[in-house]
Structures are given as C-alpha cells and as structure tokens.
Structure 1
C-alpha cells in the first residue's frame, strides 16, 4: 500500500536520489530538462508515493512551460514528468496512481496553463490510460532531440500552433 502526498513534503535529496535510480545520473542532459530549465515544480500538481514505512517509492513532477508560437503569442502550459518509480517497485501501479492523482488535481487548479498538459512519453501508454495525443503537437519544436510521436498533450487549452516549447520560469505554485 502507498500513500500519495504533496511532493514538497518530501526531502528533496530523496527525490533526486530516486530520479537518479529511475533514469540514471545522466538524466539532466535530456531534452525535458532543457525545456523546464530554471523553473520550479508546480507544487499543487506534484506528488510522491510513500510506502508503509514512509520510504519514497515514486514521484510525479509538473512544470510551468510555454509554447512560443511562430505567429506570436506565448501560451502557458504544464509539462508533466518525470514520473519516476524506484526500479524494484516498477509494475506495481505506483506510476499510474501518481498520474491519476495529478489529473484529479487539474480541474480545481488555478495554475496558469493547467488546461494544457504536455509530456514526452510513450503514446501507447499515455494515450490509452490518460488521453494524451500528438494530435496538436506536430508543429512544436523542442530545444534538443526528441521523437515527434512521443510529444503528447491533452486539455482544452492545448495550442495547435507551430512554435518552440520553453520554460516559464517562476516560483513554485
């Protein structure tokens, strides 16, 4: 059994260690890190899974980003991820529970851009279980390599314009 708690109630060093275990110490070189550079996680949409002993088993973080449209304008969005689970605890439903908890928090959220969620991930998983698609992301560019089919979004505010995805640097919400 796992308890889902706000991520900001968990030791940040434990979160960093979990991310290293789940994705490797070289994770910071990934494109997703470039997109959210300088931003703080959105506290109201970021959660942790703790086991019965209070040990950290998984996390989900969300970040303020924006799409700078080629025709002008900058549309606020929220980048979902990483969703991280300790490797020995994967396939136990922790990641799915974290995603579901985050999505439950979205409708009441006052965070700008929470009506436009985006992520880089497996379309078969995130599409099937959570409704993310690449339908409106075809014209988006990222500050590093990515597979276009893995650039996914959901929500009524997802823009269909072409543009560059970038950080929306601000304090945590």
Structure 2
C-alpha cells in the first residue's frame, strides 16, 4: 500500500530521477520551470508517495511565485507542480491523492491562491481550478492560455494582468 509523506523526507537525487522519468531530461526548459525560477520549493506544500518498501513513486512540489502587474504591484501565488508519478505506477490515483493533500494543506494554512499549468477540465472537476480569471496573465515562455489555472483557497480574488515569475521575497 502506498503512503503520502512530506517531500522533504525524500532524497533529492531520487526526486530528480523521478522527474526525469516522468517528464524527460529536457524538462528544465519548460515554461513552468521559467515561471518558478531558482526559488526553493515550499516544504509544507510539497508531498511524495512512497510504496510499501519506501521507494519514491510520486512527487508534487509547490513554489512561491508572483504575478507582477504593469504598475509593479506583485500578487503572490503558490505554483503547484510538477505532479509526477513513476510511469510504472501511473493510473493508481497517486497524483490525485497528492493534489488532494496540497489543496487541503493550502486551505488549512490559508495560503496565497494556488496556480498551475494544467488541464482545465481535470483540475477544475476535482479541485475547482479555473482559467476564468487568468486571461490577463503572461508567462516567460509558451503556454496555452486556457491551461493557466488558479484556485483561491481562502476567498482572496485571483486574476489581474501581468507576468508570472518567481516570488523571491518568500523563503521556504
């Protein structure tokens, strides 16, 4: 039986290997990596799935990012992802369980709104993520606008106009 644990309990090399297996060696050039930059992931909102013998089979990282508006105002967000599951263990609900964990933790902590790049139908149906208020967002790389998703966990407004990037004011 698998179990969700804090991601910080896992070896960094095992996490990197899992991400390479799930997304390929060229993953560092993707727009999501450009948005979050070189900031550290947030331990309290990052999770792993391990199997019975403690082997890492899934990971979910969350990152401090911000939407910088044309006037320089910065609105903080928590970027969720990547959600990675070892290819041999996909389809077992591990990604969904980690998403349940991060949304529940964010709500319990009253964090900044969550955002991600993902499938609006899937992430909307299960967790309420939406692209409805993100049409004014820009990213530092290519992205389908409909895949820029946001979720307010405490009633704060989401949306606005501006460029997404790392929130260097936040320390993990």
Structure 2 length as normaliser, TM-score?
0.94
Provide closer, same or farther for how the CA distance between residues 66 and 34 of structure 1 changes in structure 2, counting only shifts above 3 A. Answer: same
CA distance in 1 between partners of 2:12 and 2:137 (Å): 31
- Where 2:109 maps in the other structure, the secondary structure is coil
| Structure 1 length-normalised TM | 0.94
Aligned pairs, number: 169
CA apart distance, 1:115: 3.1
Is residue 22–residue 86 contact of structure 2 (8 Å, CA) maintained in 1? Answer: yes
Q: Which portions of structure 1, spanning 4 or more consecutive aligned residues, are displaced by more than 3 angstroms?
A: none
For structure 2, list consecutive stretches of 5 or more residues without a partner in the other structure: none
**Cα-to-partner distance string for 1:95-139 (whole Å, 9 max, x where unaligned):** 0000001111112326xxx23100000111101111000011000
Structure 1 portions without partners, runs of 5+: none
Cα distance between partner residues in 2 of 1:93 and 1:43: 22
- Counterpart check, 1:47 vs 2:47: yes
Matches for 1:103-142 after TM superposition, within 5 Å: 103-109=103-109, 114-142=111-139
* Equivalence map 1:137-152=2 (5 Å): 137-152=134-149
How many angstroms does 1:38 deviate by? 1.2
Superposition RMSD in Å: 1.1
- How far did 1:158 drift? 4.3
